């Protein structure tokens, strides 16, 4: 899959540390001051910045894999998702991969709280504003940018907080 990996929404670097231990060159970006400080204490290369700004400053064709775990569920509009996907495609190498997981519209939290946009709900006081993904929405974002390699849905979490997650593996279209 290539040696240079970038994580969007890397937090304190849990996944980056595991990938680095496997020999990959890893970098992350997150807006959390606390998360990035913790990652840096572990000597991880994590930049504190909004993802879109960070991506727009990266060189084209410079990363083999861009991945994220539930990051794209944050309060992004469809236009912001489109811009993020454009930037991810631009920075990926010719046959690079985009691997991500997102909360699905089949999730039990979907529809709770106040609707703030299409498939987007403010879950406060129990949680943040989340944009839930359908397979159709993921296809729209992928169109013209990526080729679907695998899409599947599964459950994560136990007890009081199980969630339904859509997992996607895509490859850059040339």
Q: Where are the domains of the chain?
A: 1-49, 68-172
pLDDT recorded at residue 160? 75
pLDDT recorded at residue 97? 98
- pTM over cut 0.75: yes
* CATH class for the region spanning 68-172: alpha beta
pLDDT along the chain (174 residues), means of 10: 92 96 97 96 96 98 97 95 98 97 96 95 91 97 97 88 94 92
pLDDT recorded at residue 1? 64
User: 78: closest CA among 30, 24, 133, 127?
Assistant: 133
Q: Please give the angle made by the CA atoms of 75, 94 and 134, to the nearest 5 degrees.
A: 30
To 10 degrees, the CA torsion angle through 101, 102, 106, 107? 110
Q: Is the Cα torsion angle 116, 50, 170, 26 positive or negative in sign?
A: negative
Angle of the 135-142 helix axis to the 78-91 helix axis, nearest 10:
50
- Which residues lie closer than 8 Å to 105 by C-beta, 6 or more apart? 119, 132, 133, 134
CB 121 within 8 Å of CB 115? yes
pLDDT recorded at residue 158? 81
């Amino acid at each position: 899959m290539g040696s240079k990996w970038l994580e969007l929404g890397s937090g304190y670097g849990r996944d980056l540390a595991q990938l680095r231990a496997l020999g990959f060159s890893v970098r992350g970006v997150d807006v959390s001051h606390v998360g990035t400080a913790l990652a840096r204490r572990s000597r991880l290369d994590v930049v504190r910045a909004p993802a879109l700004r960070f991506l727009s400053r990266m060189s084209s064709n410079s990363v083999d894999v861009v991945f994220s775990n539930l990051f794209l569920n944050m309060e992004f509009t469809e236009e912001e998702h489109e811009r993020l996907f454009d930037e991810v495609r631009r920075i990926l190498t010719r046959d690079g991969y985009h691997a991500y997981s997102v909360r699905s519209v089949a999730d039990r939290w979907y529809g709770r709280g106040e609707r703030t946009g299409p498939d987007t709900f403010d879950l406060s006081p129990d949680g943040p504003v989340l944009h839930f993904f359908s397979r159709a929405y993921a296809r729209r974002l992928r169109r013209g940018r990526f080729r679907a390699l695998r899409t599947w849905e599964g459950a994560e979490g136990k007890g009081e907080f199980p969630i339904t997650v859509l997992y996607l593996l895509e490859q850059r279209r040339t």
